[in-house]
Homo-oligomer: A and B are copies of this chain.
C-alpha cells in the first residue's frame, strides 16, 4: 500500500514547521526566564513577550495591550463569555449563532444554570447567520444582552460570516460583539476597528504555531474579569506564568502564514470539490462564503468514521466532524442547523487543505475515496471499517 502522508485535517490542528520550532528553541534552553523575574533573564523574556504581542495585535489592527495571551482558542472563548458575565452582572442574555464552536456553546450552557438566557440565531442552508433575525432579537433585547458571539469561520463547514455587518449592527445597538476567529485568524483579513469587534479569540495551533497558546483581543474600555486568578500576569486578566516559547512560536507562525499562496490552495480545493461532486458527493455549506481551504462533503449511505479510517490506512488524514470531539454527534448541530439530512450527516467528512499539496495529491485523494466500498454493500460489511486501524487490506 502506498504510504504517502497527506494531512488534510488542518482545521483540527496543523504541523509546526521547523522554522517555528527553531524560533522557540532558544526560549526553552537559553532565554528561559520568567517574564515576572526582575533579573536580566526575566527582563529579556518580558521584552520578547511584548514584541510577540505587537505582532499578534498588528494582524487585527489592535493595540498591543489589548491582546491577552491564553492557553488556546477554547480558553479565549471561555474568558470572553465568562469574563464578561462576571464584569457586567446585570446583562443576562447572550446571543449566539446556531453553529458556534462547543467552546462557546458549552460555556453558554453552563451560564444557563446561573439564570442566563441563550438566544440562538439560525443560519441559512449555506451556514450564514440570518441577519434579519439578529436585527429583530437586538431590537427587542439589546439592553439585556451581555454579548453577541458569532463565529467568524465555522470549524466544520468553513462558512465565513459577514462579520463587518454583524459588528455594525451590534455597535448601533450598543451591544458588545465577540467573534471566535480561531479558524480565520491569520487566514482572512481582520480589522477589529473597521469590523467593530470588541472581543476576538484566536489560536496558535491552527496556523502552524504550537498547541497550548492563543489569545483574546479585548477592546480598550471593555470590562472583563479573569477566569483564572493568580499572580497578576496579562494585566491580571489571565494569570499564570506566560508561555513564552509558545507565544514566540505563535507570532512566528503568523508571520510565516503571510507567505502562503492562498489562491493556490483555493484552486486545489475547488478542483477537489468538483471531483467529489463527480463521484456523488454533496457539498455541505455555502460554496461562496467559505474559507479557501475547507471542503465538507456527504456521501449518502456511507459511515464517515469508516471512510476516515479507510483513508487513514492509505495515509490520507481527514476528519469526521470536528476534531475537537471524537464523539462527533456533539458537533452535528452545525450540519443539522443548515438542514443536512440524517443519512448525509452520518456520511460526511471534512477535508481541510494546507499549502503543501499538489494537483497530484488531490487526484490521489479522489482515487482512494472512489475505492471505498459502495453503500450498496451490506451495512455490517461497512461497519467493519470502524474498527480502528486494523492491519491488512480491506
Chain A interfacial positions (CB closer than 8 Å to B): 7, 9, 12-18, 20-21, 25, 28-29, 32-34, 36-43, 71-75, 77-78, 101-103, 106-107, 109-110, 205, 210-213, 226-233, 239-246, 305, 308-309, 311-313, 317-320, 322-327, 330, 388-389
Contacts and interface: CB of A to CB of B under 8 A. Distances in A.
A75 B228 contact: yes
A75 B240 contact: yes
B40 A312 contact: yes
Contact of A34 (B9, B110, B320): B9
A323 to B, nearest CB: 4
7 contacts: A14-B32, A33-B317, A42-B323, A71-B240, A73-B240, A74-B239, A211-B243
Per CB-CB distance, the 4 closest pairs between chain A and chain B, nearest first, are: A231-B324, A74-B240, A212-B243, A71-B71
B43 A29 contact: no
Contacts of A243: 71-72, 210-212
A245 B210 contact: yes
Nearest to A214: B240
B37 A28 contact: no
A308 B15 contact: no
Contact of A241 (B74, B313, B326, B327): B74
Kindly name the residue among A15, A18, A28 whose own CB sees the greatest number of chain B CB atoms within 10 A.
A28
Contacts of A226: 110
A311 B38 CA distance: 11
Contacts of A72: 71, 240-241, 243
Contacts of A230: 74, 77-78, 101-103, 106-107, 324
Contact of A13 (B16, B212, B241, B317): B241
Contacts of A240: 71-75, 103
- Which of A74, A213, A226 has the most chain B CB atoms inside 10 A of its CB? A74
A7 B102 CA distance: 43
A9 B37 contact: yes
Given A21-B25, A29-B21, A317-B41, A324 B229 contact: no
A90 B21 CA distance: 48
Nearest to A322: B231
A13 to B, nearest CB: 4
Contact of A232 (B245, B317, B327): B327
Among A36, A101, A106, A244, max chain B CB count under 10 A is at: A36
Given A232-B102, A240-B75, A21 B13 contact: no
A40 to B, nearest CB: 5
B241 A317 contact: no
Contacts of A42: 9, 12, 317, 323, 326
